[in-house]
Chain A
């Protein structure tokens, strides 16, 4: 209702794209996924929700976010980059602890589980 563009499943541009089955994910351990030419990191949280971020760590330029330790900071579910340990909020992608470096952010996508399938809201490439 209040977020019409997000719930629409078949606008020309955005659509829910199935990536893998929920069984392929493990609670609190990320997995990388390849969507078109982009690398995503998918996370299954203990409450059953799925989060999708960019797999590239902005602080090291390496595609390793999916291999970090998942945890929490206050209310925020987090992932710590395995490279230099910056901590990101999995809901917004914002870096919560830049370890003395500048501000940083992971791109995030909407993700959900439907009938055992993990889907992300994806902008189709032409």
Chain B
């Protein structure tokens, strides 16, 4: 055995985001034994403070906890809920409020900041909050809940119109509170924006329904009869009633420990550090918001993370240095796009501005360039910050093109990245440079943004750099003479399209035969479902037929959608959104009898949730008996055809959109495709069916149907483009047939029609030539394929019910076929069930475990 070394003892004060990063970095790189003690005075595990507002979108405290394995490492002791109250520098120890005395070789102060309250009367009244910790937001939410029986919407004042104030106002609004932002200076986000940009932002904020008062100084909060905040007074003598107040006027570094221990502190607070993050005591380092570098503390997480990396590196004997603050920021308020980066105020001598303003569209963008207009120094983006990810890393380097190109409306296409120098920081959260990303591609063999994130962490925190990482990876691969791999996975080296052709030509009809001939190994959850989809287009057999069954994702395998607890949802088809009263009654009875949660979907039909595996066939039997069939909400196949009521009822309807929607849904039901397919049919140009957001959107006009294709909702919305006008019913159906079949044969795995159309040679014109002018001579083939699909369609559920062999797959347990999964537990909410949370299971407030719950009103 080698000689036994005692571990280096490192004590970290504060268990916030920066402390967490420091511990992670130190542990993952330490080769010598270390022992780390982390003391945090919040009574919880370190959590994502940057994402604090997610709490109001329903994220639980648990979900906001940072990666736990870091602190679970045996080399770490975490002491939550305790506070260090003194540092004894002479004997290198700290003492805590609970009386512990802990010795250190190295001490790291990561105590962050506390939120400030203004020195005005009433600032401490109940109902006046700050916005910093999980405790703060929990109390805020309780206050809103407690006051919400006022019989009118609550009013809330946010004092401070910076990044945090706007975020807080958005959160209040999300809670149904009428929010007003009160800002003492002349504009919102005055630290990041000039007057013009601030004005543009004000309009966006007001358009979102938040009131803004600039140039307004708060002088007092006044209590109501219950002792809680009820009013607010301003310096101009005016006042306003309010139910609650949130202060977001700034933060103060929590430097009290260091100050008391005699460490040098900055004039405006904070513990002074040098570029190695060392304080005036060489055994003590400070990182994060509490550290003052160059006399200044900064309330952003990215510089804190850089300090954490530097401090860890130094403790391990490295020579990393903190390069100074990057003050770039982006507002996280949905619907309000604002970012500012680099020298946004053009303080560099001779700096030039390029400004693009569209007051109607609410857009203001400014780039700051060097005096020769070649080097990017900084900028502000309001109303459209899509170029932020691409521009921020280019600060300090040549723009490589007309600056205006970066400012004009991007139309969804990311701004050009130019050629980023290696030292440009692309991900400021993780401090990853363009050079490191290139290195990840060259040396570590990363071939996509996901791999780069796993390898370097770039893109894993706030996500704003992901598009830039993607484009860097693509460029690097191209430069290496490779294209972004189109291989499906490690088992199949072909793209979906190549595989489709190969399977069609070879006539192979089983997975085993295909993988043996065209692949390696036994497949995986990527290639198996793709092969299943191809086989179902080519052979049109049931998804559970023979070996095919093993290829399906669980949803396709059991023909229902898996939910978070392992139960399933059941969605019967309602073509065009039409359903009879009898149909609704049957669904209601089934949901009641099986205790299922029911909800209308965004696709105009009813979803029933919480069915157990072994219940599915019994539920289907009742649905099938009542004339329903599977809605294939699970399949990469036709989902729904959304309709409006059209000429049958509507005053404005031009054609019978509902009848057409029903016809189309019945024609394409069961059609398997690379990704899901959705259609919409509107009865007139008012477009109530939102058809242009669909893969195929049909709009009635006086001269016939207009067909739009390649629309998409979801993550990257896109309006469908006009493919053909004035079609009669038969022409319409044939054109959609061909469009779908052509897409099914040529698209990549999991590629919807919108990106497929964007990549298609010739775009919409190219598609028109193929499906309307038959430029490839394949129309007859496509037509035949669709006719066969229609001929061979069978309902997944009915076919399964008719086959005892297939039904064996719905046993809950192979040795206890009807015993319910004993882990399931439900609780009631608004008169229906939902899966119980971990806390509810623990506290026993679960209504029923394992078996059915009867919900009675």
Residue B576, interface by CB 8 Å: no
For the complex, what is the distance from the CA of A70 to the CA of B812, rounded to whole Å? 19
> Taking the nearest CB of chain B, how far is it from the CB of A91, in angstroms?
14
Task: Kindly count the residue-residue contacts between A and B in the assembled complex, taking CB atoms under 8 Å apart.
Answer: 115
Q: Mark B554-587, 1 if CB is under 8 A from A, else 0.
A: 1101100010111000000000000000000000
Interface segment among B290-298, B433-441, B522-530, B717-725: the answer is B522-530
> Taking the nearest CB of chain B, how far is it from the CB of A89, in angstroms?
13
Interface segment among A7-15, A24-32, A108-116: the answer is A24-32
- Residue contact A87 to B523, C-beta cutoff 8 Å: no
- Residue contact B815 to A72, C-beta cutoff 8 Å: no
Tally A residues with Cβ within 8 Å of B.
41
For the complex, what is the distance from the CA of A78 to the CA of B526, rounded to whole Å? 13
> Taking the nearest CB of chain B, how far is it from the CB of A95, in angstroms?
12
- Residue contact A32 to B550, C-beta cutoff 8 Å: no
- Residue contact A34 to B819, C-beta cutoff 8 Å: yes
- Residue contact A29 to B549, C-beta cutoff 8 Å: yes
Residue in chain A with minimal CB distance to B70: A102
Taking residues whose C-beta sits less than 8 angstroms from the other chain, chain B's interface range is 35 or more
Q: Which of these, B453, B553, B555, B816, contacts A100 with CB under 8 Å?
A: B453
For the complex, what is the distance from the CA of A48 to the CA of B108, rounded to whole Å? 57
For the complex, what is the distance from the CA of A56 to the CA of B822, rounded to whole Å? 12
Q: Mark B51-95, 1 if CB is under 8 A from A, else 0.
A: 000000000000000011100000000000000000000000000
Q: Which of these, B68, B523, B815, B822, contacts A71 with CB under 8 Å?
A: B523
> Taking the nearest CB of chain B, how far is it from the CB of A14, in angstroms?
19
> Taking the nearest CB of chain B, how far is it from the CB of A119, in angstroms?
12
- Residue contact B524 to A42, C-beta cutoff 8 Å: no
Residue in chain A with minimal CB distance to B528: A69
For the complex, what is the distance from the CA of A81 to the CA of B280, rounded to whole Å? 52
Residue in chain B with minimal CB distance to A28: B550
- Residue contact B524 to A73, C-beta cutoff 8 Å: yes
> Taking the nearest CB of chain A, how far is it from the CB of B182, in angstroms?
41
- Residue contact B814 to A68, C-beta cutoff 8 Å: no
For the complex, what is the distance from the CA of A87 to the CA of B823, rounded to whole Å? 22
Q: Mark A15-55, 1 if CB is under 8 A from B, else 0.
A: 00001100011111101111101010010001000000000
Contacts of B552 in A (CB 8 A): 69
Q: Which of these, A27, A34, A78, contacts B816 with CB under 8 Å?
A: A34
With A26-B549, A34-B819, A87-B524 as contacts: A61 and B813 at CB distance below 8 Å: no
> Taking the nearest CB of chain A, how far is it from the CB of B516, in angstroms?
11
- Residue contact B68 to A102, C-beta cutoff 8 Å: yes
Residue B521, interface by CB 8 Å: yes
- Residue contact A61 to B838, C-beta cutoff 8 Å: yes
For the complex, what is the distance from the CA of A73 to the CA of B524, rounded to whole Å? 8
For the complex, what is the distance from the CA of A33 to the CA of B529, rounded to whole Å? 25
> Taking the nearest CB of chain A, how far is it from the CB of B273, in angstroms?
31
Contacts of B565 in A (CB 8 A): 62
Contacts of A85 in B (CB 8 A): 525
**Footprint of A on B, CB under 8 Å?**
67-69, 450, 453-454, 460, 490-491, 521-525, 527-529, 547, 549-555, 557-558, 562, 564-566, 613, 808-809, 811-816, 819, 821-823, 838
**Footprint of B on A, CB under 8 Å?**
19-20, 24-29, 31-35, 37, 39, 42, 46, 56, 60-64, 67-74, 77-78, 80, 82-83, 85, 87, 100, 102-103
5 A–B pairs (Cβ distance < 8 Å), ordered by A: A34-B819, A34-B822, A63-B821, A71-B491, A72-B522
